[in-house]
Structure 1
Amino acid sequence: MKEVIDTSPSRRQVLRLAAVVTACAVAAKAPNAAEPPRGETNSYVPADGTATFESVWQTVRDRFYDPRHNGLDWLAVRERYLPEVQRAASGDSLARVINSMLSELHASHTRFYTPDEPEYYQLADIFSGALRRRGLQRAFPDGRVSYPGIGIISRIEVAGRNTITAVIDGTPAQQAGLRVGDEILAADGTAFESVESFRGKVGETVALEVQRGASVVQIPVRPVDLEPTKMFLRGLESSARIIESNGRRIGYVHVWCYAGSVYQRALVSLLSQGVLRDADALILDLRDGWGGAQPEYLDLFNPRAPTMQVTGRSGTSEFVNVKWRKPVAMLINGGTRSGKEVLAYGFKKYRLGELIGTRTEGAVLAATAFLIGGGLLLLAVEDVRVDGERLEGVGVTPTIEVPAGAAPAGSDDPQLSRAVAVLSGT
């Protein structure tokens, strides 16, 4: 996911996550502690907290993209945090100590996740190719990465509440009517946990207590066993729709995750022979979710190349080298990260259309993942420059700034509303 790309297969695997994507083709040097089989634990409890901490510290020492650790004395950092590790009373406390240590590196794609977080499973699935060589089977004995959930992206507020920042299309959360901005207070009368609240309740009704504005509402939801790649792919396909405005048909699609060519193929299919085929213009939504996109995905909007339709003896047709030659706008926000930021950069620089929303996250390092002590370490292992520019810590600014909260009357998504207005001439 860099601007300069070596196209050999192993190299492309590393690059696939200038955001969070595929895998580094180099084996991990840190030891992998055995993990309990999926479903047999109710919360993250490492077998040995000190050993887990040491493995994370050593992996950063040996694999972090900057051998100088961004100017830190990494040995001194270890000595400073080790007493806190020894005092940590639970796995949750250990993870907080580890992440405090990692935060001193001031680098994106560098965090320790536990099985109590949806991101643990999502990253395990994204990096499953590399992790098969690094102990994936110990964490997921049947080779299937999944977790009980409802399909939201959320953040933990200072008060411990879970605030929804995105609702993935086609998931139980969307079907239940959950909205961006909802604060989930409780599930079945107990404090809400992103994974734990749904463990053992797949297919059952869970009563969520939700703060929505000034009101507290009860919302029933039925969690399912989510396989991350399938969830994100279904979310992309379910999001695709036509918005009628000012006599024009505006196509809309949300790419929730770009960590794999399967998502680009699905997008191309929607544009060439799916619901978006006859749209007059397109809104490509890259807000929130995971990155992993390859720069060449922007070639979809290059009009200077032919599209072929190939039809076989059976009459089945396939489009090759599909191009979108109609107007297009791209939506971005602070949750647009990594490979998606590379696309946003190119989209803006080469004037393919309007870039609408707010500045991207500025998380553009290439990373890989390691299973350590029952958790997952996401670690930045390569620096990335795009057309010679370093986007890490900088991000990409939109051509049309639209804050998420400035909603026009009757709209709960002002950025989308502005894109529709731009493309429909209103």
Structure 2
Amino acid sequence: MGPGLSVAVLSLSFFLSASAASSADDLPRSGQPVFDRVVELVNANFYDGKALDRFNAAVRTKIEPGKTPISATSPVGEVDDAIASVLATLRVSHTGRYKPDTIDYFELSDIFRFAIRDDIRRLFPPDSEVRYPGIGMVTVVEDGLRLVIDVYDGSPAEKAGLLVGDEILTVDGRPYQEIGSFEGKVGRSVYIRLRRERGAEPISIKVQVERLRPLPMFERAIDESVTLSERDGYRIGYVRMWTLSTRNGLDIVADALANGALKDADGLVVDLRGRWGGGPADAAELFVGDTPSFRLIPRRGEATLANFRWRKPVIALIDKGTRSGLELFAYTLRQNAVPLVGQRTAGALLAGRAYVLPDDSLLEIAVSDAVIEKDLRLEGVGIEPDISVVSPLAYAAGNDPQREAAVTEMARMLASSKNGRVGAPLNPAFTR
């Protein structure tokens, strides 16, 4: 197990029934069903009761007579803004509302499928499998530019040549929408107009649209990320842990290390710059655990890998995408003298649960605090890297200085070991 936390605490689908902070009849009400349900659920389930006075005070400012009080007849946009505003007063991670015009909505619906099991067949007919039309690309708006921040390994976007840092201009001649740009186009191609270099003429890329299933897609991305390259005569492996929430993600990595493309690697770069956390609290034991590797050997047939531990050098990549379970993963590696390269992690280590609202949007609420060992909290703090590397996003053209720095450091560590010098931990406070 990881230090001080159970599997249940770090699982994003962790379920907690909390008693209401106050009677539902005492709560401020607007008459707008979605807004009022958010107020109910936060008061009943949010982990920090001391924050509810601040939250409810913000709610009252939205419903009391004023310029635009929230009511049963309020426009959708005003309701959305009011919900976002009152949730922001809680000032924590794992708390937010997601609508079905966003990729986050579908990915979190699959991660939280147990928590929303009473609604999932209705939301995703006919078989309860979460799907959405897309190409495996995630964007953010930075300084007014719509930029690609993630391209999932093995996705249509990667195969078409889209790169992190590309500025997305249009899809089929219209403004980009995360879901709307691809709705009704599964099995067909779209034309994405983008700018790859600052001030350059736009280019157009043709991409096939797929019906994406989030958790299977993440497993494919983990598997497709596996690479083995050579640096200074050393074989250096790489794998990206997009999330720990999949059923088979860790097994995919273990098999690649034990039997697959990474079995002959001299050292490994494990990329924790993910999308979501979740997963078991002891996930990092694949790299730092003390239990031995072993196989099950039947009388007939092939041996089966039952447990595997990586015993060679490892370095981890971190940034603000390292959150929740991946953040605990990074903390565990650091406690075992594994160098961390990149930028400070998200500082987002709580347990969340999802609820379906009356308009079928998704509400995530932080339902439990997460404390490591005695009194250490990463929420709002994060983990600083041992080697700090900035990675500018705009017009990066797929360049990844953080990954390059990690590979360079791994080659240095391997050379030091070969020459009889064991490199000291980059941060002397963390020793194996």
Under TM normalisation by the shorter chain, which class is it? 0.7 to 0.9
Whether 1:75 and 2:56 are equivalent positions in the alignment is yes
Please state whether the residue corresponding to 1:356 is helix, strand or coil. Answer: strand
**Partner of residue 405 from structure 1, selected from 392, 395, 415:** 392
Whether 1:318 and 2:304 are equivalent positions in the alignment is yes
1:291 maps to which residue?
Answer: 277
- 1:334 positional shift: 1.1
2:110 maps to which residue?
Answer: 125
- Distance of 2:206 and 2:19 partners within structure 1: 43
Would the aligned equivalents of 1:125 and 1:228 in 2 still touch at CA under 8 Å?
A: yes
Would the aligned equivalents of 2:288 and 2:336 in 1 still touch at CA under 8 Å?
A: no
- Distance of 2:172 and 2:213 partners within structure 1: 24
1:36 maps to which residue?
Answer: none
- 1:225 positional shift: 0.4
**Partner of residue 215 from structure 2, selected from 216, 219, 229:** 229
Whether 1:396 and 2:383 are equivalent positions in the alignment is yes
Name stretches of at least 5 consecutive residues in structure 1 with no aligned partner. 7-11, 30-47
Please state whether the residue corresponding to 1:270 is helix, strand or coil. Answer: helix
- 1:339 positional shift: 0.8
Range with bigger deviation, 174-183 or 77-86: 77-86
1:360 maps to which residue?
Answer: 345
Whether 1:4 and 2:8 are equivalent positions in the alignment is no
Correspondence list, 1:6-405, <5 A? 6=6, 12-13=7-8, 15-17=9-11, 21-26=12-17, 50-69=32-51, 72-82=53-63, 83-86=68-71, 88-90=74-76, 92-133=77-118, 135-142=119-126, 143-157=128-142, 159=144, 161-213=145-197, 214-215=199-200, 216-302=202-288, 304-351=290-337, 353-372=338-357, 373-387=359-373, 388-405=375-392
Structure 1 pair 376–406 and aligned structure 2 pair: CA distance change class (3 A): closer
Structure exhibiting the larger radius of gyration computed from Cα positions: 2
- 1:28 positional shift: 11
- 1:301 positional shift: 2.0
- 1:300 positional shift: 1.6
Give the aligned residue type for 2:409. Answer: V
Range with bigger deviation, 306-315 or 92-101: 92-101
Q: Which has the higher contact order (CA 8 A, sep 6+)?
A: 1
Give the aligned residue type for 1:140. Answer: F
- Distance of 1:163 and 1:404 partners within structure 2: 14
Please state whether the residue corresponding to 1:112 is helix, strand or coil. Answer: strand
Give the aligned residue type for 2:279. Answer: A
- 1:101 positional shift: 1.5
Structure 1 pair 65–167 and aligned structure 2 pair: CA distance change class (3 A): same
Deviations 1:230-249 (A, max 9, x none): 11000000000101111111
Structure 1 pair 406–379 and aligned structure 2 pair: CA distance change class (3 A): closer
- How many positions carry a matched residue from both structures? 393
- Distance of 2:340 and 2:55 partners within structure 1: 40
Would the aligned equivalents of 2:216 and 2:246 in 1 still touch at CA under 8 Å?
A: no
Deviations 1:352-380 (A, max 9, x none): x2100000010111101001022000110
Please state whether the residue corresponding to 2:243 is helix, strand or coil. Answer: coil
Please state whether the residue corresponding to 1:130 is helix, strand or coil. Answer: coil
Structure 1 pair 93–257 and aligned structure 2 pair: CA distance change class (3 A): farther
| TM-score, L = length of structure 2 | 0.85
The RMSD of aligned alpha carbons is 2.5
Structure 1 pair 102–410 and aligned structure 2 pair: CA distance change class (3 A): closer
Please state whether the residue corresponding to 1:55 is helix, strand or coil. Answer: helix
Name stretches of at least 5 consecutive residues in structure 2 with no aligned partner. 21-29, 416-432
Range with bigger deviation, 48-57 or 105-114: 48-57
Structure 1 pair 310–148 and aligned structure 2 pair: CA distance change class (3 A): same
Please state whether the residue corresponding to 2:228 is helix, strand or coil. Answer: strand
Structure 1 pair 303–255 and aligned structure 2 pair: CA distance change class (3 A): closer
